[in-house]
């Protein structure tokens, strides 16, 4: 499963020596240390109404910089069937450029994008799209009918990228982040069919 970005994506791929491969145990520290923060000049505002909700892109007066808190390692999501999970990393030599962590749920044939991150220096260079292509390939291998992910409403750069990759909004949770460092944000759910 080792390939360069050009082989994985064809024309317009990230130039250079980016290699995509399955994560190894020794990648753990680099995965945990990857800078997943972002800066945005807009958010997707969620308006809850009596009959439903609305989502609209809203410009911000000042750019917002978000740094995600460290994740609790004992979140109850690990330890499942290793045949139903996959993490693919993108590396340039010893530098981790990004990764995608996925899991397959047989009961509803859903591949969940549990996490996808691209290092700031590698954003906008095709790494995220190629990682998502690897997730789609795994979805096909598993027989998944669709991919699903959750994203905070303030992560406009990621939402725009997901929309370009064919994802659409499919739901929200206005309370998912209550009691966390992300309180006040809303969780948007996005999905796309497996082609």
- Ordered by where they begin, the domains of the chain are 3-193 (3.40.630.30)
- At 8, list the tokens: 């994985």
**8-46: per-residue pLDDT in tens?**
443 334 456 899 999 999 999 999 999 999 999 999 999
pLDDT of residue 70: 76
Judged against a pLDDT cut of 90, whether residue 79 lies above it is answered with no
Q: How far apart are CA 51 and CA 78, in angstroms?
A: 37
**117-129: per-residue pLDDT in tens?**
999 999 999 999 9
The answer to whether 64 and 154 have CB atoms below 8 angstroms apart is: yes
pLDDT of residue 44: 95
Q: Burial, 85: exposed, middle or buried (Cβ in 10 Å; 0-12, 13-18, 19+)?
A: middle
Q: Distance between the two ends of the chain, CA-based, in angstroms?
A: 21
What is the mean predicted confidence (pLDDT) over 86-99? 96
**In percent, how much of the chain has pLDDT > 90?**
77
Q: How far apart are CA 38 and CA 36, in angstroms?
A: 7
pLDDT band for position 82 (50/70/90)?
A: confident
What is the mean predicted confidence (pLDDT) over 95-121? 97
The answer to whether 131 and 99 have CB atoms below 8 angstroms apart is: yes
- At 93, list the tokens: 């030599």
> Global pTM?
0.84
DSSP 8-state secondary structure symbol assigned to residue 136: H
**In percent, how much of the chain has pLDDT > 70?**
87
Q: How many residues does the chain have?
A: 195
Q: How far apart are CA 67 and CA 77, in angstroms?
A: 22
**131-157: per-residue pLDDT in tens?**
999 999 999 999 999 999 999 999 999
């Amino acid at each position: 499963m080792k390939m360069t970005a050009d082989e994985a994506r064809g024309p317009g791929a990230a130039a250079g020596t980016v290699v995509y491969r399955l994560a190894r145990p020794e990648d753990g520290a680099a995965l945990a240390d990857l800078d997943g923060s972002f800066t945005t000049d807009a958010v997707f505002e969620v308006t809850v109404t009596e009959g439903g909700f609305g989502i609209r892109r809203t410009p911000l007066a000042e750019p917002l910089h978000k740094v995600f808190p460290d994740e609790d390692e004992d979140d109850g999501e690990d330890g499942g069937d290793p045949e139903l999970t996959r993490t693919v990393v993108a590396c340039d030599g010893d530098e981790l450029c990004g990764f995608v962590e996925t899991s397959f749920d047989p009961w509803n044939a859903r591949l969940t994008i549990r996490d996808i991150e691209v290092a700031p220096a590698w954003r906008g260079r095709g790494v995220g799209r190629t990682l998502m292509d690897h997730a789609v390939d795994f979805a096909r291998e598993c027989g998944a009918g669709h991919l699903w992910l959750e994203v905070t409403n303030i992560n406009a750069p990621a939402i725009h990228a997901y929309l370009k990759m064919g994802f659409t909004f499919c739901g929200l949770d206005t309370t998912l982040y209550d009691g966390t460092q992300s309180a006040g944000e809303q969780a948007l759910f996005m999905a796309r069919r497996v082609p």
